[in-house]
Every structure is written in C-alpha cells, then in structure tokens.
Amino acid sequence: MDRTGRLALVPPRFGDEVVGGAEAVVRDAARGLAERGWDVEVLTTCARDHYTWANEYPEGVGTDGLVTVRRFAAVVDSRAERLAIHASILAGEDIDLNHQQRWINGDVRSPGLYHWLLDHAEDYRALVFAPYLFWPTFAGAQVAPERTILMPCLHDEPEAWLELFQPVFTGVRGIWFLADPERDLARRIHGTLPDHRVIGAGVHVPDSYDPDGFRKRHGIEDRFVYYSGRREGAKNWEWLLEAFARAVERHGLPFSLVTTGTGEVRPPDEITGRVVDLGMLPIDELPNVYAAADAYLQPSRLESFSISVLDAWLAGTLVIANAASDVVRWHCERSGAGLLFEDDVELGWCLRFVADEPDNRIAAAGRDYVLRNYRWPDVLDRMEATIDEWLPA
C-alpha cells in the first residue's frame, strides 16, 4: 500500500465526548489510518453538541494522538425559517430547490472550514466527508469532488430524498457505505452512483468484561435492559419509554431500563423509578454495561450501521430491535442473534421472552458474526484499497 499523501476526514463534530455513530466511525478511522502510517488530518467545527452547535472546543490546530485536528468556528443563524421548512419536509410537501438551500444554510455552517477547503483541497490526496445530512458535507464535498469520498451514513428519511443532495451523491469520486441496505437505498434515491464499496465499520474488541463490577460501581442490583446513544425523537427514544412502560404493566416485567448518552430522559410517571440515567460513561466502562444487561434495545428505524448493536453482541447480550430499520434487521437476520419487533405489543413479548429465558443462547451467534465481519483491521484494509484504487498517489 502506497500511503503517500495526506488524508482529510471531515465530520461536523469530533472528539471522545461527541455522541453519534457517524462521528464514532470517523474518529476511529482517523486514528486507525494514522497508526498505519498515513498523514491524517481531521477538519471539523468547534462544536460538541449537535443540539446547540455551541463552540465548546478552541478554534485552531491541535492533535489527537497521531491525528492533526483543525477546528473552525460553527455558525448558526436564526433557526425559525429553517424549522418551518423542515416541518414541511417531514410532512412530505414538495419543497423547491431554493427553499431546500435555505433549509441547509439555516443550520450549522462553518465559513472558516469552507474557505480552508477552497484554499487547500489540492493539498490532500483524499477528502472524506461524513455524514451527508449536514452543511459541512453538503458544501465541502462539492469543492473538490474529484478527490472526495463520501461516507453518507444514509437513512430512509424525508431529507434523504431532497434534490439538494443529488450532486453530492453523484458527483464525488467514490462512496463508502456501511451496509448493503444503505447502498441499496442510495441506488433507489439517486440511480447511477459513482464508484462505491460497502466497507462496513469496525468495533473494538474488549480484552475482558466486568459486569459484576459495573453493578457494584453504579448501585444496580436488579435485572435491566439497556439503551445507549442519543435520547431524541429521531431515535424513537420517547416511544421506547412509553412502550417500555406499557410492557412493564402488561407483563409484570422484572427489568429496569438503564440508559447512557445525551438528551433528556423524561419517563412516564409509572416507571420513573425503573429508568436509570447514567449520562456519559467513560469509554472503558461501556463494555461492562452491555455485558451486565439482559438485553440491548434498539428502537430506532434510522440506522445506517448501528455500532451499539454489534457492541452488545460482542458482550454476549441479546439485541431487541425495531424491524423497521432495514440495516438492523439485516444484521439480525444475517447473524441470527436478535429479536425483532414491529410495535409495542411485540416489544413487550420480546421482553417477556428475555425475562422468562435469562440464559437464552440466541446472542451467542452475534459475537461470531461481529468478529467475522467487523474487526477494525479488516475495515481499514477495505478503506485503503479503495483509496489506492480511486485516488492513486
């Protein structure tokens, strides 16, 4: 592999404190490629929280291990008009291109990042942008499309079908998809695509797990199920709280619901004492909560890969997932290691099954599935192969 030339990875947010699947993949890819000898830079904003886009990191150049990190200020104008347009998009209304552009420009922008790309794009062998939905990718991917790789992290959501994104998907040098259903969705939306590969994403395999220690450290004695990530409507979080409350009442379940991540946690009154919010756990503690849980819950239908599902399987924990997510259903069907639900009634029966069969062996196949397909060295091999093919030194 000829690792000559500099690589730029361009996520809207970057850092260990940042919650988000796309951001996690970019972070680990940047570090992994740098460890293999690439000259890697991350170009990103100073924001940490995607709710406010406040500039919490200092602007300028820093390092993350072997990776150079260039941060540029995030700018967010009044969102009133954007929110109105977004409501029309979600309602399925026909929005003209002018309003689509006003919508994307009404969210986070980073003029400093954009001008850096205008001045320095030719200094990089490859520019990798992720995810597709935010302004830095929309604007930046069109600066030097001939040396741009898009990692869209695409979901089947109303925004994905906007005409606005057509040149981003069809004009770049290549596309990295994380799963077959994501690639198939892009083909349905945009038709003919440039060169593309399904590269997957990598997971880190812990040396060991400490479920008993986790329970002692956090004072959790009873059985529990677990949810990790962004607690927000787009991830079906509020629905999960309501559905869990109904399942507890209907089946007399023994579980609490433990959750980590960002966003508000406001459970229904009847299960207030059964919902345990641990906030942001240290990275080295996360494997232990997966291992201690009776099951991992994935209520979201908007998933392009779902690393949390794979982390649960690595820990030997059953996954209970929303069948409406093409990607997660694909993982569960290929691995044979998950239960799928279509509504709150089926979620309740899945939880009842786990309550009655605490030693079930369904999840055992999940660990083999993850190790066979999603080790980081294999994913990095696929990334490097496409860079070598599409953008030779």
- 355 with 183: CB under 8 angstroms? no
What dihedral do alpha carbons 371, 228, 63, 168 form, nearest 10°?
80
- 261 with 19: CB under 8 angstroms? yes
Instruction: In whole angstroms, give the CA distance from residue 58 to residue 23.
Output: 18
9: helix, strand or coil: strand
What dihedral do alpha carbons 188, 192, 195, 200 form, nearest 10°?
0
Instruction: In whole angstroms, give the CA distance from residue 50 to residue 107.
Output: 10
| Backbone phi and psi for residue 173, each to the nearest 5 degrees, phi listed first | -70, -35
Instruction: In whole angstroms, give the CA distance from residue 374 to residue 179.
Output: 11
- 156 with 329: CB under 8 angstroms? no
Query: By C-alpha distance, which of 186, 188, 163, 140 is closest to 8?
Result: 140
Q: How many residues does the chain have?
A: 393
Predicted local confidence at residue 232, as pLDDT: 87
Q: Which amino acid is at 324?
A: A
Predicted local confidence at residue 16, as pLDDT: 84
| Backbone phi and psi for residue 198, each to the nearest 5 degrees, phi listed first | -90, 105
Instruction: In whole angstroms, give the CA distance from residue 297 to residue 319.
Output: 6
- 297 with 240: CB under 8 angstroms? yes
Strand partners, 229: 261
The first and second tokens of residue 172, run together, are: 């770049």
- 97 with 90: CB under 8 angstroms? no
pLDDT tens for each residue of the chain, 393 residues long? 789 999 999 999 998 888 777 898 999 999 999 999 999 999 999 999 888 899 999 999 999 999 999 999 999 876 788 889 999 999 999 999 999 999 999 889 999 999 999 999 999 999 999 999 999 999 999 999 999 999 999 989 999 999 999 999 999 999 999 999 999 999 999 999 999 999 999 998 999 999 999 999 999 999 999 999 889 888 899 999 999 999 999 999 999 999 998 888 999 999 988 999 999 889 899 999 999 999 999 999 988 888 899 999 999 999 999 999 999 999 999 999 999 999 999 999 999 999 998 776 788 899 999 999 999 999 999 999 999 999 998
**Interacting residues of 133 by C-beta distance below 8 A, sequence separation 6+:** 153, 159
The CATH number given to 6-202+375-390 is 3.40.50.2000
Q: Give the HSE-up count for residue 279: Cα atoms under 13 Å, Cβ half-sphere.
A: 4
Count CB-CB contacts under 10 A for residue 298: 28
Instruction: In whole angstroms, give the CA distance from residue 323 to residue 306.
Output: 13
Q: Which amino acid is at 62?
A: G
Count CB-CB contacts under 10 A for residue 195: 12
Predicted local confidence at residue 22, as pLDDT: 87
- Residue that is written with structure tokens 């239908």 in the block: 301
In terms of Cβ atoms closer than 10 Å to its own Cβ (0-12, 13-18, 19+), residue 279 is exposed
* Segments of the chain assigned to CATH 3.40.50.2000: 6-202+375-390, 211-373
Does 268 sit behind a cis peptide bond, omega within 30 degrees of 0 on the bond before it?
no
- Out of 3.40.50.10420, 3.40.50.2000, 3.40.50.620, 3.40.50.2300, the CATH code matching 211-373 is 3.40.50.2000
